[in-house]
Amino acid sequence: MQITIRKAQLGDLRDIYNLVYELAVFEKEPNAMTTSVAEYEQAFSEKLIDSFVAELDGKIIGIALYYMTFSTWKGKCLYLEDFYVQPTFRKDGVGQCLFDAFLAEAKALGAAQTKWQVLDWNEIGLNFYKKNNATIEKNWWNGKIVLDQDNQ
């Protein structure tokens, strides 16, 4: 099996979107995904997001979608927004190759750290990150406000 890890291109965004939807299903939140492929394309064109893709025989089977942010305590931070490999390919090292590409990109961009979220019940994900010497913070809670697009 010959897996290729490469930077995403504009034409990959429909496949990336579909894999993010698969991730939303896995996370038991498919109805929470309200974006569109067009929004992905716009964000990608504006360089708000970037991604690595894992490809097998011309088919994208995994993604690491990320963007640069800034920590007032640490400096530049590469944030891993979505990291997903289709279940059939999870034992083949695809995720590790994508994660390694993401970490290499963070270093190349001069990031001081990387960050992401993982659900507390996702044992496979937690074990993967621990295997990669990640710190899993349990004392910081997420906050958010969903802005109603209709009232703007």
Tens digit of each residue's pLDDT (9 = 90 or more) over 83-124 = 999 999 998 999 999 999 999 999 999 999 999 999 999 999
pTM value > 0.95: no
pLDDT at 142: 86
Can you tell me the mean pLDDT for 26-48? 97
The burial of 13, by beta-carbon neighbours within 10 Å (0-12 exposed, 13-18 middle, 19 or more buried), is given as buried
Does pLDDT of 151 surpass 80?
no
Segment 53-88, tens digit of pLDDT: 999 999 999 999 999 999 999 999 999 999 999 999
Specify the amino acid at residue 44: F
Distance CA 54, CA 100 (A): 12
Confidence of residue 152 (pLDDT cuts 50, 70, 90): very low
In this prediction, residue 145 carries a pLDDT of 87
Looking at the domain covering 3-117, what would its CATH class be? alpha beta
| pLDDT of res. 38 | 98
- Percent of the chain residues past pLDDT 90, beyond the cut: 89
Mean of the per-residue pLDDT values for the chain?
Answer: 95
Q: Given 40, 67, 84, 129, which residue is catalytic?
A: 129
* Torsional sign, CA 134, 7, 47, 10: negative
Domain ranges of the chain: 3-117
pLDDT tops 70 at residue 46:
yes
Task: Judge whether 97 and 85 are in contact, CB under 8 Å.
Answer: no
Concerning whether 17 is annotated as a catalytic residue, the answer is no
In sign, the C-alpha dihedral spanning 113, 71, 144, 50 is: negative
